[in-house]
């Protein structure tokens, strides 16, 4: 244990912020006057901290085996210094591990399992999410088109960025896979005049969006369905499809089927935009340093990340042609810090909401987990351990007119990005 304590003291000394650590036997390490304080109540927490297993330390905080005092920003600065390796480069899987991971992924992503996983996260409490999300409750990476944008403006800019990329036009049939609280669905319907359909597995979100549709008088051309993407059957394919924050829940083993399903829902020549979190490492099975296990246990059970190259491979297997890819990683770091800071300013309200809905024990654990999750993910995006890619693709159509300057395009995409950024100040300007 002595060499572990020596290593821990060295890591604490290298931290850019002061950290005071109290061991189970009362021994104190680090900066006695620091604002950031950790009181460790068992030996396993000591080992995890000394080894740089920051995800395991986070689990100990959630379970009450480590008491925390200090801000989330201070904690994340210290956590980065405690790491012994790059979490995005750890947990590399050999061929036999990949076989096991694929089998586990297949078993974990049945319709029933996915429904339970979505309920676990998104149905925690609408009132809780409303405390720290923007007024539209957009629960995905914002787009800070202008540096001075606030969160709500950046979320509207993101919604418009997606609609612009998809070249939405009045009367087009538009599908949004994974509704959230209806931000993209309603933005597309009200600003671009599309006939819009959304699907979700969250009962809370389904009920919320149904109310918004009725309040805004959008019945008839906007609809919200409670079902799995694999169960959606349509007589006529959609002109445009968006999937935002959804494919992280699909699973590695189901990814080819997922993109093939999307292709089947899209008309030939149409456009699909897939907006999702991607892995920072090329071939790691998950984030190292205990981070992957923390997220699986407390936040997103069943979530799996792929490197963007793998996503593009599976998309190509489904005969979807990638025409544009954009990495919004820094935007998500800023988004997550905005969420984290927002939650930190309303901790007592959040505690009351969660305790009232789930009881004292689960409510307190959920609050501790989300504080660590939001700040930890902000750090992960800052450091490049994970990324966020918007992939725009087409379902090629050889029957489309091959004459004129766009001969051979085989889709609606003009093969020129200028259309995405024209009149950039028109919508959601700061």
Q: What is the pLDDT of residues 160-209, one digit of tens each?
A: 999 999 999 999 999 999 878 999 999 999 999 999 999 998 888 899 99
Q: Which CATH number fits domain 2-84: 3.30.700.30, 2.60.40.10, 3.30.1050.10, 3.40.50.300?
A: 3.30.1050.10
Q: What's the pLDDT tens digit per position in 265-324? A: 999 999 999 999 999 988 765 677 788 888 888 876 767 888 999 999 999 999 999 999
pLDDT higher than 90, residue 62: yes
pTM: 0.88
Domain locations along the chain: 2-84, 99-421
Q: What's the pLDDT tens digit per position in 358-382? A: 999 999 999 999 999 999 999 999 9
What distance, in Å, lies between the first and last C-alpha atoms of the chain? 55
Quick one: pLDDT at residue 425?
40
User: Out of 57, 323, 350, 377, which one is annotated catalytic?
Assistant: 377
Q: Which CATH number fits domain 99-421: 3.90.1580.10, 3.30.70.141, 3.40.50.150, 3.50.50.60?
A: 3.40.50.150
Whether 163 sits among the annotated catalytic residues: the reply is: no
Q: What is the mean pLDDT of residues 81-86?
A: 85
Q: What is the mean pLDDT of residues 115-126?
A: 55
Quick one: pLDDT at residue 407?
77
């Amino acid at each position: 244990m002595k060499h572990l304590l020596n290593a821990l003291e060295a890591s604490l000394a290298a931290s850019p912020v002061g950290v005071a650590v109290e061991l189970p036997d009362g021994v104190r390490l680090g900066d006695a006057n620091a604002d950031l304080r950790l009181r460790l109540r068992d030996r396993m927490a000591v080992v995890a901290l000394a080894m740089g297993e920051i995800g395991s330390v986070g689990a100990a905080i959630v379970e009450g085996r480590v008491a925390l005092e200090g801000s989330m920003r201070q904690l994340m600065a210290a956590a980065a210094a405690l790491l012994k390796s790059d979490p995005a480069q750890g947990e590399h899987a050999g061929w036999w591990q990949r076989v096991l991971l694929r089998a586990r992924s297949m078993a974990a992503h049945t319709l029933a399992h996915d429904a339970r996983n979505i309920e676990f996260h998104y149905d925690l409490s609408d009132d809780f999410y409303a405390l720290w999300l923007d007024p539209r409750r957009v629960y995905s990476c914002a787009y800070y088109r202008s540096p001075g944008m606030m969160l709500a403006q950046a979320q509207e800019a993101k919604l418009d960025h997606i609609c612009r990329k998809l070249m939405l036009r009045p009367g087009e049939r538009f599908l949004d896979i994974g509704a959230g609280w209806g931000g993209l669905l309603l933005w597309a319907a009200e600003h671009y005049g599309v006939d819009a359909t959304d699907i979700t597995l969250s009962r809370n979100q389904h009920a919320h969006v149904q109310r918004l549709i009725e309040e805004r008088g959008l019945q008839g051309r906007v609809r919200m369905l409670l079902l799995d993407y694999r169960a959606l059957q349509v007589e006529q394919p959609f002109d445009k499809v968006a999937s935002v924050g959804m494919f992280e829940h699909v699973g590695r083993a189901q990814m080819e089927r997922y993109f093939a399903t999307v292709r089947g829902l899209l008309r030939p020549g149409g456009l699909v935009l897939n907006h999702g979190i991607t892995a920072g490492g090329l071939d790691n099975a998950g984030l190292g340093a205990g981070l992957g296990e923390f997220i699986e246990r407390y936040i997103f059970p069943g979530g799996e990340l792929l490197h963007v190259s793998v996503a593009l491979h599976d998309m190509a297997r489904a005969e979807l042609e990638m025409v544009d890819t954009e990495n919004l990683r820094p935007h998500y770091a800023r988004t997550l810090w905005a969420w984290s800071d927002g939650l930190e300013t309303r901790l007592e309200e959040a505690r009351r909401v969660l305790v009232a809905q789930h009881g004292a024990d689960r409510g307190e654990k959920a609050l501790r987990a989300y504080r660590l999750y939001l700040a930890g993910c902000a750090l992960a995006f800052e450091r490049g351990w994970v990324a966020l890619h918007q992939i725009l693709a087409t379902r090629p159509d050889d029957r489309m007119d091959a004459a004129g300057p766009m001969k051979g395009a085989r889709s609606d995409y003009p093969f020129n990005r200028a259309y995405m950024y024209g009149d950039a100040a028109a919508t959601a300007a700061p």
